[in-house]
A and B are shown apart, each in its own frame.
Chain A
Amino acid sequence: MNASAQQRKINGAVKDSQTGQPLPFATVSVEAAGKPVNKFAADQNGNFAVDAAVGHVLKISFTGYEPKKITVGDTTNITVLLKSNGNLSEVVVIAYGTEKRKDLTSSVTTISAKQISEAPSTNLATALASRAPGLEVHSTSTQPGAGAAVNVRGLNSITQLQGPLYIVDGVALVGDIRNINPADIESVEILKDAAAAGIYGSRAAEGVILITTKKPKAGATSINFDMYAGIQVNNPAYKMLDARSYAKLKRAGFQDADPGTFGAPGTDTADRKMFNTYELQSIANGYANYDWQKAILHNNAPTQNYTLSVSNGTGSNRVYFSGQYQNQDGILINTGYKKYSAHFSDETAIRPFLKMGASANYAHDITHNAMPNEYQQSLTESPLQPIFDAGGQPLIVIDKSTGTPTIFNPATLALDAIDLYTTNRTNANLYLEFTPLKNLAFRSSIGADIYQAEEDKYYPRTTGPGYTPTNGFAEIYNTRATDVLWENTITYNFLKGDHELNLLGGFTFEKHENFATDMQADQFPTDLLSYKAIGSGGQKLQDNSNYDGWAVRSLLARAVYKYKGRYILNATIRQDGSSRFGSNNKFGVFPTVSGAWRVIDEPWMGFKLKTWLNDFKLRVSYGLVGNQNLPYDAIYTRYDPASYPFNGSSITSGYAVAGTNGVYGNNSLQWEVQHQFNAGTDIAILNNRVQLSVDVYNKNISSLLMPLPLAPSSGFQTEFVNVAAMNTKGIDIALKITPIQTKDFTWQTSINWSKYKSKVTKLFPGRDSVNLALRVGLPPSGTYVNYIYDGLYQQGDNFTLNPNGKPGDIKIKDVNGDGKITPLDEVVVGSSIPKGWGSFWNYFRYKSISLTVYSTYEYGQQLNNLTFTDLSYYNSLYGSTGNVTVQGGNYWTPTNTNTNIPRPNTFGTSLKTLPGGVGQGSSYSIQGASYFKIQHITLGYDFPSALLDKIKVHSLNIYAQALNPFLFTGYKGVDPDIAGADAANEIYPRYRTFLMGVKLGL
């Protein structure tokens, strides 16, 4: 190489290889013989002019793109096309618009279509579980069609939690988002901090979730067909005692309660007093065993789903439509979920400056619910009791002396009772985009959510709830809700030199109405017509209606200023006027401000550094959002209907105040206020093989609604006041690593980890606590306060704390040492707030075969497992006198003292002296609920494109999948992941699903 070659001016432009867009301020470095000589930056149009000699090497780099080396040759004019290598050029949907991910100043997590459709779900919310740090989703039960409780960034209120705001293509959805087919979704953006969500003002306190459906890709057409089919296999959580052990337990319990009457266990006279004729027959037959769980189980229940979608992006009219059929049979007989849905979207450029678009989604689903107590009852029924009579009908045992059944057979509930929940939901959106000038755009969009749901119930006279004297019970509950959202925005973009300014102004209006009617009747002459002929019910129990409506009108504005592409400042402000605020406080203003610094784009970041550091950004934000979910009851003192039969029988109707409602109205009520601070960083290194996003946030939430308990002498029970304050702070971490990436083998792993700490900082003026569980210093909810379980009494123990107690009874700890058990001995015994939670996702690919393992975890929390206590402790008051679990069979006896199960106690008199009485409970039922749950394991195969091209198929993937295969936990219940897992009754059993599926793209 001639070292003294001439220096020439090399002109060039740096562009994106795919879109042809210039890459502003790209770095151009000149190297000679491997050593950097000079460094320049391109201008905002990507143009550069550098001095270099032939043989020098130009290294051109731009964040988010693969750097390129070009040896200077004869040409003096070079166009450099850089290939995007990651997600930094990607466009993210934000409130009222889109933004490039690299320019985001706020905390937004995107969940991609691929992640959402990785595993099947009947509720879109569950598909999002833990996919974003800070997002907590728990199903309400394992039943097909179950709802989900969603939470963004910890606890946001004490009393007015309602879940985040969902916006789907310009339609505001209130309530659940089950109607959306996950296969139709392009992406879901979770707006977590005040800067991202604050522009939604008084709706944003619990976060905002933006859902964008698939739109046709420009210039392409495609047809996709997805289907799966599989079976669900029972994974029992409880193993109950068999007939012989149950008989032994029952005898021990009755004998202990009254040895005089029940005498020596196992004798005929004693048995005849405890067991009914059928049970005695079973005992005589050598303890014949009947499996109640099996009687209502539909094991290996099938599940299937089919989606067909067509997308045509050619021409000026782009269309996408899809249809879905989903059918999940339940693992309990006569339960299941079925869904039919269709989605349509269209975009037309009717003029060069005018674009119109529409989208519509219709979903119709039917859920057959499990009956109340059906599953719980099947666990506690006596295994000596036959389930069916000689004719194959469920057996009902009548007590001759009282005429009422002593056994309400859960099989009758499962077979004969009806609980049907049907919904029809239509979402429609129409928008107009008018672009008179290059940088000025108007957008107006109207979205409507029309939701109709109906629940039909019928309990025939063979079931518990429908038996004499009820004689059949029917209910028809209908609710209809409409939500109309009208959004108008004007945007203006201004670009000059190093400065870029994006302005947004807008006006929105939302109106929501719902109307519900409820009819209930009983005394039916026959069960044949069920709820469909509710008029034939002899007694009308209820004919009721309820109406609710609200409206919000808002003004909003946003300004984003970018300097040199690496300093970004963002400010938003919103004014909400809501009919839900008290009449003295109708308007609220919610400003936010945020900034970001793209450190990676600084010119002083060396080129060498940039070979391994791909992205480094710092963000900070601060803003004010609100929560407008104030109950109407809180603002108006309500009079309720009352009636009185003057003259002994003629009903005079009237109104009474302070009845069961008991709320005294407060018309100065205002929204709950949240100030949120967020600081975060996004780092990517080693060619984006390691991507890390860390956010820390601190929320000061004040003006929280608290039901101030009023003295009963006022006639009322509570009044809502904005007095309380709380603080939630936390950290969200998302780490994505690609440890191995070779030609044939890839391993990607992604870990989300979140943690938050919530505590109440203020309650009522002058009062630091409402009760032991709700007080300053503790989280606003989820704290368990009770007596401490101190083991079991043994023989020879001192019984001063419980004079009626006997050896084998539960011992309560006298915490304050005053010699008696009083409410002062109640302490905090646990919390359901985890010390950390998140997800662990692993993806392995070898050539065309892929293996995905997705798991979620949560640790450090406890749950109050009353169900397990009820199912293990044989006691008429504290637990139940039905069958108990195998663990419950290990109860205390004078010879078996090394156990935690108390002695069976049929009348429970020994617990009477506890201050809260016999139902008080203790920390006995608190269990650790940490878990590591493998949500799904998927093995897939992508057919090679060489083969597919021959048959003109674009992509074909087949896969086998196991859902909920393994759950590692110490919690003894169905699933600690289920919201409300500590409810006193389990609703539905636990199961694994095995399925196979096909994804075909043409």
Chain B
Amino acid sequence: MKSIKQYSQKFWALGLAVVLLQGFSSCRKELNYTPEVFVSAQTVYKDEPGAIAGVTGIYQQLQTLKKSDYQLIGVIGTDEARCTYQAQGYGSYWAGVVGMDVYDITFNSQNADVSGFWAGCYQGVANANAAILNIPQIKNFAEPAVQSRLVGEARFMRALFYFYLVQLYGDVPMPLENTSIANGLPRVPQQQVYSQIEADLKFAVANCWTKNKLAGNDIGRANVEAAKALLGKVYLTLHDYQNAKTTFEDLINTNHISLMQNYADLFDGKHENNAESLFEIQYSIDNNNNTQGLQNLYGSYAGPPVKFETFDQHTPGYGGTVVMATSYYSDTVFAKPYSWEYQYDTRYAASINHDRYDGNGNTMSWWVDPGLPTVKKYDISSGDIDVYHSGKNLYYLRSADVFLMYAETLNELGQTQEALAPLNKIRERAFGNNTLDFAATDQASLREIIMDERSRELGAEGWRWFDLKRTGTLVQRLKRYNDPKRDFMTKNNSTTDPHPAQNVSAKNNLFPIPLTELQNNAALGLKAQNPGY
């Protein structure tokens, strides 16, 4: 007979075995544990809300790209705006920003802004590619019209990013939605990039909605008018004036674009997404991540631009004294301040803060730059939090640009008389009447006039560098208009203030390719750099 002990042992042994086996089998499934805070491409692009969410991400990439000092690309290093003397002393990072302005040795492949802008554009491209690839594959999309519109928006955005890349850097790698990154991406010739941009914009024209169809929370999305305007600009850049003319005429005649009556309304922060605006980059103070801090770059800490005004980071005009207007922009292209012509150009007051005042109401002439004219277009409005957190939108394309481009196109085609009509539309809005309209003149003079008018109308909005490159006048205009020695430096006896006229040369029509790209792209190497860098 078995003893109690033996029975007892068997009981316990059996009990343990059962428990162990149970545990053993249940553990296996725990190994396929995906962390639940992760969202991947498969989980995003599954239905209509997901597609909208993914496309929202593309817009955010553009917003991020333009809300900081990357916005200066296209603005500084031109005849319109420049970095201040102080900026070079703010630290090594800012020395690189100044380098983009003066084209000196810090304007190289390791320049933080040059590299950052490149990376930022490609992040936008990656998001756009994901949308273009995945959205058409979504089955049972709730509203098919929205599905094609979203793809149109994504292709517009991709064209926008590539347009920046090809103009700044020349031949660039061009990953599309089906491209594999495994073996590196070669630099694609500019012509091919432009063809892709053209194709993307044509798709956008065909599939996006028009401005008046976008309502409510869809206002601000890429639309047909913006796509046509950008397509026209691309043709203009390629000097394909015939196609540019057709596109602009189509846009002006069928889509009824218009100008705001009051120029200052464009920049007061209270007329966002107005009738003149074709595509804006949206910002808002409702979310800390969606604000922009541009007044800090364009403002100055010298003193208030209005006499006897309190002056701190909550007031317009206050800032870090990084960028200022060139004397060309503040005192030449607009004609002399206080001249009778200046008094009537409503654009001046909205574009430039000319004087700064000290505590006693006297005009300030502080040592070196802070007391000099600054750009006013980025001043915060009453609805903003402070200079670092503004909800003011930025213009990418507006109707005034279209009219000026149309005038330029006609002028280049030799139609100098017809070119006056769109040009004078701008003048009439600026002066309120036609007394200062331009009269007929020859093609070369009209070219100069149009370039100057673009400064007066679209100054510091981010297109100048691209305009100068397109017209082949970058080096010439910088040497002529961005040589501060002639004006302020002689006054202050400071000859070491760096300025572009010293350094700029033909090679600066292209930016250097970032070093990180050359080092890590298997299809490129250090030899694939743009000439001269």
Contacts and interface: CB of A to CB of B under 8 A. Distances in A.
A577 interface: yes
Contacts of B359: 401
A434 B12 contact: yes
Interface in B74-117: 88-89, 91-93, 95-96, 105-106, 110, 115
Given A353-B9, A553-B30, A657-B126, A918 B313 contact: no
Interface stretch (B141-149, B283-291, B433-441): B283-291
A662 B116 CA distance: 13
A644 B33 contact: no
A715 B91 contact: no
A401 B290 CA distance: 29
Interface residues of B, number: 100
B505 interface: no
Contacts of B59: 644, 646
A770 to B, nearest CB: 10
Nearest to B92: A917
Interface string B201-225: 0000000000000001111110000
Contacts of A642: 56-57, 60
A655 B57 contact: yes
Nearest to B34: A636
Contacts of B93: 917
A917 B55 CA distance: 38
A653 B312 contact: no
A730 B55 CA distance: 55
B365 to A, nearest CB: 14
Interface in A610-669: 632, 636-640, 642-659, 662, 665
B521 A711 contact: yes
Contacts of B126: 657-658, 714-716
Interface string B428-470: 0000000000000000000000000000000000000000000
Contacts of B173: 711, 713
A551 B30 contact: yes
Interface in B7-44: 8-9, 12-13, 16, 19-20, 23-24, 27-28, 30-41, 43-44
Contacts of A352: 5
Contacts of B385: 469
A469 B391 contact: no
Contacts, number: 255
A913 B105 contact: yes
Contacts of A551: 27, 30-31, 33
Interface in A108-150: none
A912 B175 contact: no
A912 B56 contact: no
A654 B367 contact: no
Contact of A709 (B287, B288, B516): B516
A917 B119 CA distance: 21
Interface string A734-772: 000000000000000000000000000000000000000
Contacts of B53: 653-655
Contact of A712 (B43, B96, B118): B118
A912 B287 contact: no
B219 A710 contact: no
A549 B33 contact: yes
A551 B31 CA distance: 6
Contact of B521 (A401, A659, A713, A877): A713
Contact of A713 (B185, B284, B303): B185
A918 B91 contact: yes
Contacts of B314: 469
A877 B92 contact: yes
Contact of A655 (B27, B54, B119, B524): B54
Interface stretch (A70-78, A540-548, A593-601, A777-785): A540-548
Contacts of A402: 301, 311-313
B217 A579 contact: no
A876 B86 CA distance: 13
Contacts of B127: 656-658, 715
B52 A648 contact: no
Question: For A261, A436, A545, which residue has the most chain B Cβ atoms within 10 angstroms?
Answer: A436
Nearest to B29: A551
A645 B286 contact: yes
Interface in A292-317: none
A432 B89 contact: no
Contacts of A658: 123, 126-127
Given A469-B386, A714-B126, A648 B35 contact: no
B514 interface: yes
B295 interface: no
A794 interface: no
A351 interface: yes
A644 B63 contact: yes
Contacts of B172: 713
Interface string B166-180: 000000110100000
Contact of B92 (A444, A640, A646, A919): A919
B122 A916 contact: no
Contact of B221 (A548, A639, A646): A646
A469 B118 CA distance: 33
B374 interface: no
Given A712-B517, A917-B95, A912 B290 contact: no
B220 A639 contact: no
Contacts of A442: 13, 16
A656 B91 contact: no
A734 B528 CA distance: 57
Given A639-B39, A909-B88, A647 B273 contact: yes
B37 A547 contact: yes
Nearest to A550: B33
Contacts of B288: 539, 541
Given A353-B9, A643-B290, A651-B290, A714 B519 contact: no
A507 interface: yes
A645 B89 contact: no
Question: For B28, B39, B93, B216, which residue has the most chain A Cβ atoms within 10 angstroms?
Answer: B39
A715 B60 contact: no
Contacts of A697: none
Contact of B58 (A656, A665, A877): A656
Interface in A429-465: 432, 434, 436, 442, 444
Given A649-B284, A919-B91, A507 B24 contact: yes
A715 B521 CA distance: 12
A646 B312 contact: no
A401 B358 CA distance: 10
A444 B17 CA distance: 11
A920 interface: yes
A541 B28 CA distance: 41
A712 B280 CA distance: 26
A511 interface: yes
A803 to B, nearest CB: 10
Contacts of B8: 351, 353
B40 A637 contact: yes
A113 B41 CA distance: 54
Interface of B: 5, 8-9, 12-13, 16, 19-20, 23-24, 27-28, 30-41, 43-44, 52-61, 63, 88-89, 91-93, 95-96, 105-106, 110, 115, 118-119, 122-123, 125-127, 129-130, 172-173, 175, 181, 184-185, 216-221, 272-273, 280, 282-284, 286-290, 301, 303, 311-314, 359, 367, 385-386, 391, 393, 514, 516-517, 519-522, 524
20 contacts: A434-B16, A577-B28, A578-B31, A579-B30, A636-B34, A638-B38, A639-B44, A644-B56, A645-B290, A646-B217, A646-B221, A652-B52, A655-B54, A656-B57, A656-B127, A657-B57, A710-B181, A917-B96, A917-B106, A919-B92
Given A647-B218, A915-B110, 17 more contacts: A401-B359, A553-B27, A579-B32, A636-B34, A637-B41, A642-B60, A643-B287, A644-B63, A647-B273, A648-B220, A648-B273, A655-B54, A656-B58, A714-B126, A715-B122, A917-B93, A918-B92
Minimum-distance CB pairs A-B, first 5? A917-B92, A715-B126, A654-B56, A656-B57, A645-B284
